Amino acid sequence: MIYRTPEYCRDFRCIAGDCRDSCCKGWEIDIDETTVAKYETIKGAFGERLRDNIKDGHFVLTTDERCPFLNNDGLCDIYTALGEKDLCHICAEHPRYYEWFDNVKEGGTGLCCEASAQLILSRPFLLYEEEVPFEEAAGEYDEELFDMLIEVRESMLETVCDENTPLAEALCYILDTALKAGECIDIQILRNETTTGVAEAIQEIFRKFSELEPIDDKWLPYIRECADKLDEAPTVNAKHITYLRRIAAYFLFRYIMKSIYDGNIIGYATFAVVSTFIICELFRCQSAENGTCSFEDCAEIAKNYSKETEYCEENMEKLLEYFETENYFSINTLKAIIRATFCKNVDDI
């Protein structure tokens, strides 16, 4: 089968002890049944330690929410003692993600990881394909719909990655294209498509994001503080436009094809566009606060946003519901916000 992935993923390496936001802290780490069974057979003191620190199929976190096998050097004691082959599935694969479509497998590395975020922002979005052994697809789907979605996503990616196309124009194109594709697959839009005032809509959008379930307790106060600073924040830094294009491409590649199972192409396209907009605004707020927003700052902001949205199932469900029902997430309103934010007066392509 074909395995399709962004080229930068081939260079991804876990930075282990050098990571400032370890995935071994603050998360409940589930252990697959095969690995649990394997750990039951490990002999000696380390085997006892393994079994003492597993309960109900996950590692028992310490009082400061660290994996019990994350040592003071930021390294994994399981990896050190047993090797990579004996890591549980999620530890071995994170932050990689995959989708299967019959004879096609797609994957990448998530924006929620510090090392991955820096790769995503620093590299052009180019796809790489290779032949890999066949793996079972996730489920049945309409092949005609699959072909259409591939074509739609390719068009979206080509537009947003084209440096000659203003980013505002590209983001509006994504929304318009998703709306047309949704009509083709008979998606009913529950909200009306009137345009809400830009300033009001932006505040409402930030309010909704500030009500999501936080992973890091500092995130929601940070979002609320940024919302209060938007009026005094500088305009979009031209240097950040390239990063924002790559962030939009990441979300498009990762999510558009999910609509083959639920038809929600408008929701996933909206998530890509809204995420790009929110991250842009956070870049602006960082610049207002510190006078600058460096590449490292941009990667950190994007990583934190990803962690708080797409890596919380409850938050993703809420956002997709908001996109479907709230007028300030309408296509018309979002296009007005994009035009105002990126200082462009674009027409539909």
| More confident call, 190 vs 21 | 21
* Tokens 């409850």, located at residue: 314
What is the percent of the chain with per-residue pLDDT over 70, rounded to a whole number? Answer: 95
Bridge partners (DSSP) listed for residue 127: 6
**270-283 pLDDT per residue, tens:** 999 999 999 999 99
How far apart are the C-alpha atoms of 49 and 222, rounded to whole Å?
Answer: 38
Q: What is the pLDDT of residue 191?
A: 62
* pLDDT category of residue 196 using cuts at 50, 70 and 90: confident
**28-66 pLDDT per residue, tens:** 888 999 999 999 999 999 999 999 999 989 999 998 888
Cβ burial of 117 (10 Å; 0-12, 13-18, 19+) is: buried
Domain ranges of the chain: 24-93, 143-341
Q: What is the pLDDT of residue 319?
A: 97
Segment 138-153 mean pLDDT: 89
Q: What is the mean pLDDT of the chain?
A: 91
* Tokens 């549980």, located at residue: 88
How far apart are the C-alpha atoms of 88 and 30, rounded to whole Å?
Answer: 8
How far apart are the C-alpha atoms of 71 and 10, rounded to whole Å?
Answer: 28
Q: In what order do the strands lie in the sheet with 104-109?
A: 96-101, 104-109, 2-6, 127-131
Q: What is the pLDDT of residue 23?
A: 84
Bridge partners (DSSP) listed for residue 104: 2, 101
Segment 303-331 mean pLDDT: 94
- Region class of 214: left (phi > 0), else alpha (psi between -120 and 50), else beta: beta
Segment 286-307 mean pLDDT: 95
Q: What is the pLDDT of residue 189?
A: 64
Cβ burial of 217 (10 Å; 0-12, 13-18, 19+) is: exposed
Q: What is the pLDDT of residue 348?
A: 41
How far apart are the C-alpha atoms of 201 and 333, rounded to whole Å?
Answer: 7
**1-12 pLDDT per residue, tens:** 999 999 999 999
Which helix (H) or strand (E) element contains residue 107? strand 104-109
Segment 244-256 mean pLDDT: 98
Q: Where are the alpha helices (DSSP H) in the chain?
A: 33-39, 44-52, 77-82, 89-93, 114-122, 143-161, 167-184, 198-209, 219-229, 238-255, 259-262, 265-290, 295-308, 313-325, 331-341
What is the percent of the chain with per-residue pLDDT over 90, rounded to a whole number? Answer: 74
Q: What is the pLDDT of residue 68?
A: 93
* pLDDT category of residue 188 using cuts at 50, 70 and 90: low
User: Is pTM, for the whole model, over 0.75?
Assistant: yes
